[in-house]
Structure 1
């Protein structure tokens, strides 16, 4: 019997370790609290003039795509706050900002918890699913294209981050816009997907600011960030 004890202990230890490593989503808000059907128009029909015009834009950007644009769109395929590092500076690192990192993971989780439900409602096909001429350069997804989750997340992250560091608001929101636009450059979204995502991200950001748990986390994350970046007290206009 003893010869079976060690393997069982090892298996139990590995299972426990896997459960610790697995990160469960912990959004501040879900689709139960935001009804996008009442906020957004339905996506353009697949055979509409608008979709044809948007497909032409995707193909035009594809033709103009440089290696630098490709690399940028591929890097921005990751939904995480650290994509704003080129705006925030060299001290903007996960290992230096544990409270901030945990807070923003909940912010990003909120995007998926709201948007994924409505992607399944509208089921808009992505450009490469409609035209073989589209050659994506980012990881493919066959979930509904509308609204863009990346555009939602980028806008949401940008607004929250800009409220923490209003001194860099213009640069942060410009970066958020680029982050969203890179989904068109990457070949996986239409313009209206991006526009609806930016609206959705703005709505989620506004709704989050009414929640006590969000505001408590925001203050702690903001203070840690501003301390690491040596920015001092937050300007009065953003308090």
Structure 2
């Protein structure tokens, strides 16, 4: 696997996860984790704080540590569905640890759970989307999807990007476009690695075209033409997946482009 993109991301953006800045998990933290998992009443904010602390600590590669980080991430996932808790996570400075584990943890299982946390937190939540953008989550995710070999995790990363760039928070969408995001979408549509990836890309494409054209910006639509994305869409109209066909039709509707069957 080519790790150059991730290495560049880590060197450029990491500010609190370098090994020299980590501490090994202390016994008090280990005991708290056991208590929380034993259904002892624990405040949601405390779960966020302690869980983020565990995720931020130096990884030594041991099975025990992997299990502890999995459990900490799972506890955070249980409380993060509340939008206010997601905002609190940002205010308390914990979200950056989720992002860095999602992208850079050596434990695939931890990356998957943190990706689930990220998806839940950013969905239609502009303050959290803003923080994710400031923490360079978009750069890290784009680097990851080019190199990830685990299909399920790659699908999660694409879903994370989709949740970050879609909706009313225009800065993330604009940043994605500037980062050649339409090229990324086109490559993913052409490769067709899984129906889920195709559908997430169609959602992003439809959102980008609709929200930019509604503001009089034809640039992204013209870029789609130049990249041959509409040729790809015509091909997808022949898909055996009816949902993909329906979503493709919606993209074409947003572009006012007639598809030739």
Please report the TM-score for the alignment, with normalisation by the length of structure 2. Answer: 0.24
Q: Which one has the bigger helix percentage?
A: 2
Higher relative contact order (CA 8 A, sep 6+): 1
